[in-house]
Amino acid sequence: MFKSFVPTERTLMGPGPSDVNPRILTAMARPTIGHLDPEFIRLMDEIKQMLQFAFQTRNELTIPVSAPGSAGMETCFVNLVEPGDKVIVCQNGVFGGRMVENVTRVGGVAVVVQQTWGRAVDPEQLEAALKQNPDAKIVAFVHAETSTGVQSDAAALCKLAQQYGCLTIVDCVTSLGGIEVALDAWGADAAYSGTQKCLSCPPGLSPASMSPRALEKIKARTTPVTSWFMDLNLVMGYWGQGQKRSYHHTAPVNSLYGLHEALLILVEEGLEPSWQRHMKNHLALKAGLEAMGLTFVVPEAERLPQLNLVSIPDGVDEASVRQQLLEQYNLEIGAGLGVLAGKVWRIGLMGYASNPKNVLLCVNALEAVLSQYNAHINRGVATAAVQAVYSGS
Amino acid sequence: MFKSFVPTERTLMGPGPSDVNPRILTAMARPTIGHLDPEFIRLMDEIKQMLQFAFQTRNELTIPVSAPGSAGMETCFVNLVEPGDKVIVCQNGVFGGRMVENVTRVGGVAVVVQQTWGRAVDPEQLEAALKQNPDAKIVAFVHAETSTGVQSDAAALCKLAQQYGCLTIVDCVTSLGGIEVALDAWGADAAYSGTQKCLSCPPGLSPASMSPRALEKIKARTTPVTSWFMDLNLVMGYWGQGQKRSYHHTAPVNSLYGLHEALLILVEEGLEPSWQRHMKNHLALKAGLEAMGLTFVVPEAERLPQLNLVSIPDGVDEASVRQQLLEQYNLEIGAGLGVLAGKVWRIGLMGYASNPKNVLLCVNALEAVLSQYNAHINRGVATAAVQAVYSGS
């Protein structure tokens, strides 16, 4: 009745998961060892160090949460927010809305600074909210909004928050490894990411980091953290240095093998070369799609190179196009989310998936499928436009 | 500075993770597909069906929580317990204590029925507590205590709880696949397990199941679930039937490939043959260890065949013995936990690790290492005792 699950090989150019580097899949298939094994302790130590490199931080508490990105988000909120704490959430997409949920469920008070979806968070609007809410304790925002493909100025927003005495929680799910993330330079206090975006791992873990100021607030709590699983007072003991570790939960051993390999690949490439690669492939994709006559949604200065929001041409059934791309080309691109559902496609060029082969596949497959649907696009010009970017002409 | 992590191949005979079947590692290394891919929907549906088989339940909400076993526990408590709810926790080991933490952190009132550690939960003591607490709403207990190697009579405890109008939360982390788990026959309302015990997957997921009665209580809540990540109202939508699925978090795709393969292996073997295999290997291990003069801690009728608690002989440095087993034989056995720390070893024979090769390795390696420490054991007789069990003589 049942048999082994052998998936079709896809090219993953949606909002994540992105294509996984085969080195990472190989790493994940290595034999499981115990989570108390001395070799595992060494693995944990190396992962912490490489995560500090990726986040550009010296924060000692820089670890992977043993669950997907949304658990990383919740770990930040559930530890930092106490009942009654006022939290300013700058919302410019779906994931800001999830932050509000996180604040209210633990008894915090969310002040939402609503922004235009598809635009960066406006520092002036944040400053106005900070002036109106002198009792605010935390500012939260999304660095790279996965629902809209927009990057916000994390350095400016963290600086403002600090000026008004607030801690910051920064969502770096889609940014880590793809564009600059620099927690210490920003002065960010809590940040979390995901493994399935620009780190090119399968989903399942959430790298997170806490500043000493954030830890002070956690240690000074007068109410227990509502979650036992995510309580950083306990998790810290588990991820502590060397032999001082105390048992908490059982770590997802093989997923951590994968993350270790992914971080190693990032260390080998270097942060700036990785960001430059993401930008180069974004420019090539942009050249190809614009040559076809497609348009980008986000203003150029605010675009994420790793996640491209493209308007759906008039008269095109967007879901049907995605289905054809999947069935005919094994190519996955993303649908719009929230208010952008049905209006845009989200084309990811994340991590290992950010490469010329994928750019050419996407441009050519989209051209072919849109032609089937008689969309008004320019034909036969996209490939040359892509090639021009790569050849530097 | 860093390089790929290539672990030493161990034999995992601790309390979990247990040896992973190579078929499962192969499955986990298959190419990642998107969590919205039609093929992934099929994977989810098959996993749900095979989990229903493993748990012996028709509960529609039978799914893997996207995080390790402790998150599965928390998912049950955070959804079923509302502030002020009285929960009777039968504690006979470490994990009952964690249940109490889970109750109190969400504002519930825990009534602890403290049992002797290393013994099964006493139904009479539970009944006395139920009589004294007519306002109790939930009874929670651990079916197979990983800290003590004890099994409790889940059918009897669930029946009692039902007689007194209480829902039940049952920890099946170490039991699922190794001994009988029969949620519907027991009348259990919420249960959770782990993948790294008798299912022989790497750690990272927590199979869980909720009865219709449990779902009613969740749907009738007057306060929101404090955790967004674990809120079953949302998770249910994500794991719903076919096209009705709504986005929640990003599922750990490759870990689910592994769980699918693990469940398939269980389906192929059959539940009863799997339990019988665990029992047979337990009897062989017991014969070998007792021939050496080692003694078991738990009374025979309450022992878990998949987790054997053995007293440490006088004058033996138990940590040093475990270290030698690891260094000389790449064999991991477990230390005692909680009040049993330093007093016992925990020897697991779980899932794929429950086989004659492992039994012989463990018995022979332990004999060799204990001989180095001049422990008073009978030498040269263990292997024959093991072989006698397998040959049925």
> Residues near A323 by Cβ (< 8 Å), separated by ≥ 6?
none
pLDDT of residue A262: 98
Average pLDDT over residues B300-305: 97
ipTM, 2 dp: 0.97
What fold does the segment set B21-268 form as a domain? Aspartate Aminotransferase; domain 2 (3.40.640)
How many Å is the Cα radius of gyration of chain A? 21
Per-residue confidence (pLDDT) for residue A241, from 0 to 100: 59
Give the per-residue pLDDT at B156.
Answer: 98
Angle at A15 between CA A12 and CA A266, to 5 degrees: 75
User: B142 has which bridge partners?
Assistant: B171
**The pLDDT value given to residue B382:** 97
Is the pLDDT at A338 greater than 90, yes or no? no
Please name the member of A6, A32, A46 whose beta carbon is closest to the beta carbon of B2.
Answer: A46
What token pair was written down for B232? 């079953």
pLDDT at residue A339 greater than cutoff 90 = no
Q: How far apart are CA A140 and CA A99, in angstroms?
A: 8
Q: Cα A307 to chain center, whole Å?
A: 10
pLDDT at A349: 98
Element (H, E) at B63: strand B61-65
Beta-bridge partner residues of B192: B171, B208
Chain B residues close to A332, C-beta within 8 Å:
33-34, 37
Contacts of A106 in chain B (CB under 8 A): 226
Map out the domains of chain A as residue ranges.
Answer: 21-268, 271-391
Q: Supply the pLDDT for residue A11.
A: 98
Interval B234-256: pLDDT, tens: 998 888 755 567 889 999 999 99
Restricting to B residues 64-83, those with a Cβ less than 8 Å away from any Cβ of A are 66-71, 74, 78
- Give A182 to chain B, closest Cα distance, Å: 21
Q: pLDDT tens digits for A77-107?
A: 999 999 999 999 999 999 999 999 999 999 9
Q: Quick check: A37 and B257 CB within 8 A?
A: no
Q: What is the mean pLDDT of chain A?
A: 96
Residue window 341-380, chain A: list those with CB within 8 Å of chain B.
none
Give the sign of the dihedral formed by CA B267, CA B273, CA B277, CA B283: positive
What was the pLDDT predicted at A244? Answer: 66
User: What per-residue confidence (pLDDT) applies to B242?
Assistant: 52
pLDDT, one tens digit per residue, over B318-373 is 999 999 999 999 999 999 988 899 999 999 999 999 999 999 999 999 999 999 98
Name residue, tokens 């825990």: B110
CA atoms within 13 A on the CB side of B331: 25
If you average pLDDT over residues A53-62, what whole number do you get? 97
CB distance A191 to A180 below 8 Å: no
Long-range pairs for B46-50: beta carbons < 8 A, 24 or more residues apart: B46/A2, B46/A5, B46/B260, B47/B256, B47/B259, B47/B260, B47/B263, B48/B239, B49/A2, B50/A2, B50/B260, B50/B263, B50/B264, B50/B266, B50/B267
Tell me which amino acid residue B14 is: G
> What pLDDT band is residue A62 in, cutting at 50, 70 and 90?
very high
Q: Tell me the C-alpha distance between A261 and A253, whole Å.
A: 13
Distance of alpha carbon A195 from alpha carbon A207, whole angstroms:
7
Residues 87-116, chain B, touching A (beta carbon < 8 A): 98, 101-102, 104-106
- Supply φ then ψ for residue B59, to 5 degrees: -50, 120
- Cβ–Cβ under 8 Å, residues B152 and B143: yes
Helix, strand or coil for residue A275? helix
Percent pLDDT > 90 in chain B is 94
The answer to whether residue A250 neighbours chain B at the CB level (below 8 Å) is: yes
Range B271-391 has CATH code 3.10.129.10: no
B271-391 has the same fold as B21-268: no
